[in-house]
Chain A
C-alpha cells in the first residue's frame, strides 16, 4: 500500500513538474534577489521572525522565502535538502552538527562578516563560541553560525511549599551542598493530607537532562580536554551518578523508584507537588501561570563547591553554496542581533535576549516570575557549559551512556560498576566519531 501511494505521489509530482515546466526550481537555485530561510519553532517564534523578516526585506530590497517545519521534522528535512543539493541559504544548525557540516562543506565561515558588522562584546560569548571551530576543537577558531538563542538550564524551587513547611528559603547566592539539598528534600517529602500515601516530594529529575550538573559540580566530566578520551569511569563521575540514583532509591525523595519519566514529575511540579525542579527559559511562559510562587536558584554543589549546569543553544548558519552569500550572511546576523526581532522573541517568552544590554534591562524591568531572572544571566555569562555531545562530531558515544542506565537508576547496579562497563563502549564510539571527523 505504501509503495502505491509513493508511486502515485511520484506520478503527481512528475506531472506537476511537466505542466509548470519548472523542474529545476527549489530552494538552492532561487533567483538572485531571493534568499530562503529554513527554521523550526512554535507560532510565537514564527510571528516574531515573520515581522523581523518583513523589515529586513524592506531595508535590503530582497525577498526572503520562509520554510518552516515542526521541531520533529526539521533535521530529517534539512538532511534531505542537503542530500538533494537544495540547501536553503540560511538555516538553523545545532552546535552538535557544526563539525560535520563544516567538514562536508555545507556551512560557510562567516567570521569576517560577523566581526565587521556585529558588536561581539554585546553578545553572549557562549552563544558565539558554540559555533566556533578550528578544525579540531569546538569553541575556538572561525565562526560558522550566529546564535539564534541560548538556553541556560536553571533550577527552580516551589517557594509556597517552603513557606507552608516553615523551611527557610534557599539563598540565591549560596547554593546548597548535596547534604543540605537532601536534607531539605527529605523534609519536603511527606503525606500532606494524612491518607497514608505520599503526595509531596523533594524533587524528581530526569537523568538525561540533570545528571550533568551533579557530575560537573563534583569535578567529573564526560571528556578530557582535547575530546579524545571518555572519562566517565572516574570516581567523581561515579559518585555523582550514585548520588543521583540514591535520591530515588535510598533517600526516596522522588515520586517512585522506577520513575525517571519527565512527564510524571513535570506534571507533579505543575500541580505543586514537587519542591525542586529544573527551569529553562522556554518553560517560563508556562510556569508563569502556576498557582504557587516559585523562583530560581543555583543547582546544589558537589565536591568542587562550584555550581554547574548546561546551556542549550541553536545557531543560524549560512549555506556555503548560497548564490547570495552576502545577503544571506546579513540575514543571519540580523536575526541574531536585531533589537526589534529580539524584543518580540523575548516578549513571546521563548528565550532570553541575545544582547547583553537588552538582557540587563529585561532583568530589572519585567515583573513576571521568576524574580531571580539574574540566575539565567549568570549561567549565560559565568558558568553554563555546553552539553558534552555538542562538542563532538556525533552524539552516538554520549547516548550510549543512557542506553542501559536504567538498572543503576533502579538501584540494581552500582554506578561505578556500570560506568566501568560502559566506558570502553563509549570510547570506541568516540574514536569512530573522531576518525570520521578527521581528528586523531
Chain B
C-alpha cells in the first residue's frame, strides 16, 4: 500500500510539473493573445481615444468606416501593393533554378540574395528612400546614364506605389528563393530519370514534375505573403511618412496606426483592425480550401 501511495504521489508531482510547463505557454496565450483579441473586438464597438475609458457606441465605427474614403483608398493601396507577391514568386523561382545548378560562385550569390532578408527593414527602407531620391538618388543616376530622366519616385502619385512594391520584392526575394532552393533539392531524382526514359523534354519535366513538387512551398509562400502583405507598414511609414503624395502609399495598417496613435481614435482604429483581421482570415481559409482541391488532383 505504501508503495502505491508513494507512486501516486510521484505521479501527482509529475502531473504538477507537466501542468506548470504547459501553464506558461497557455497563460501566455490567454493573456497576450486571447484577451487582447476579445478586448479589441469589444473596443471596436466603442468610442475610445486611447487615454480615457472606452464608451460603448454600437456600430458607429463600422458605419463611419464604410463611408470613409480614406479607408477604401488605404485598402485599395494595400491590395495594389500585393502585385509584388506573384512577381516575387516568379523571380525567386527563376533565381532558385539558376542557383540550383552546379556552377562556380553559387554560394556567393545565394548569400547576396539572402542579405536583404536578414537586414533590418527600417535600415533597408531608409537606404531605398535615398536610392529613390529624385535629384541625388542612385536609381535616377543610373537611369541618367541611359539618357532617361527618372521621376521623383516617392513624391509622385503614379510612381510611389510601384517604388514601394519594387523595394518589397527585393527585400523578400531571398527568403522565397531559399525555400524554393530547398524544395528543388528534395525533388527525387528518379522522377526526372523516369520522365527522361519516357521521352519528356526539359520543359515537360519542369511543368509536370518540378512545379507540382514545389506546390507545397508555393502554397506556403502565397499564404504567408498575403498575410504579411496585408500588414505592410514599416516601409510605408519610413519612406512616405505622410502616406505619400495624395495618400497614394497609405496602407491599411498605416492608416490604422495613424488614427490610433496620432488622431486619438483608438476605437475606430480597432474597428478597422477587426475588419482587416476578418478579411485575412477569410482569404486564408479560401486558400486552404482551394489548395485542398488542388492537392487532390495531383494524387
Contacts and interface: CB of A to CB of B under 8 A. Distances in A.
Interface of A: 1, 3, 6-7, 9-11, 13-15, 75-76, 79, 82-83, 100-101, 103-106, 208, 255-256, 258-261, 263-264, 267-268, 393-396, 399, 402-404, 406-407, 436
B24 interface: yes
A396 B246 contact: no
B76 to A, nearest CB: 15
A85 to B, nearest CB: 11
A10, A100, A104, A255 — most chain B CB neighbours (10 Å): A10
A264 B32 contact: no
Given A7-B25, A7-B33, A261 B134 contact: yes
A393 B155 CA distance: 29
B218 interface: no
Nearest to A12: B28
6 contacts: A3-B33, A13-B28, A256-B152, A263-B133, A396-B263, A436-B264
Interface stretch (B44-52, B162-170, B186-194): B44-52
Contacts of B243: 403
Contacts of B133: 261, 263-264
B202 interface: no
Nearest to B31: A10
Interface in B13-36: 24-25, 27-29, 31-33
B33 A403 contact: no
Given A10-B29, A101-B51, A258-B151, A403 B264 contact: no
B32 A100 contact: no
A298 to B, nearest CB: 28
Interface in B253-297: 261-265
Nearest to B245: A406
B242 interface: yes
B247 interface: yes
A403 B247 contact: yes
Interface residues of B, number: 33
B8 to A, nearest CB: 27
Contacts of A268: 135
Contact of B33 (A10, A75, A208): A10
B261 A75 contact: yes
Given A258-B152, A258-B155, A403-B243, A83 B29 contact: no
A7 B51 contact: no
Nearest to A100: B264
Nearest to B132: A261
A15 B247 CA distance: 44
Contact of A264 (B25, B27, B52, B135): B135
A393 B264 contact: yes
Given A263-B133, A264-B135, A79 B50 contact: yes
B239 to A, nearest CB: 11
B49 A259 contact: no
B156 interface: yes
A256 B134 contact: yes
Contacts of B32: 6-7, 9-10, 13
10 tightest A-B CB contacts, nearest first: A10-B32, A104-B51, A10-B28, A104-B52, A11-B28, A406-B245, A396-B263, A264-B135, A394-B263, A258-B152
A17 to B, nearest CB: 10
B226 interface: no
Nearest to B27: A14
B127 to A, nearest CB: 13
A403 B51 contact: no
A259 B263 contact: no
A7 B29 contact: yes
Contacts of B155: 258-261, 406
Contacts of B157: 406
Contacts of B247: 403-404
Nearest to B134: A259
A394 B263 CA distance: 5
Nearest to B157: A406
B136 interface: yes
A101 B49 CA distance: 10
Contact of B25 (A11, A105, A106): A11
B224 A1 contact: yes
Given A10-B33, A403-B242, 4 more contacts: A104-B49, A208-B242, A258-B152, A258-B156
Interface string B233-250: 000000000110111000
Nearest to A96: B262
Contacts of B262: 75, 394-396
B33, B134, B136, B247 — most chain A CB neighbours (10 Å): B134
Contacts of A10: 28-29, 31-33
A13 B33 CA distance: 14
Contact of B261 (A13, A79, A264, A406): A79
A399 B247 CA distance: 11
A10 B33 CA distance: 9
A261 B31 contact: no
A431 B237 CA distance: 27
A8 to B, nearest CB: 8
A28 to B, nearest CB: 14
A402 B134 contact: no
Contacts of A402: 242
Contacts of B151: 258
A402 B52 CA distance: 29
B134 to A, nearest CB: 6
B51 A267 contact: no
Nearest to B248: A406
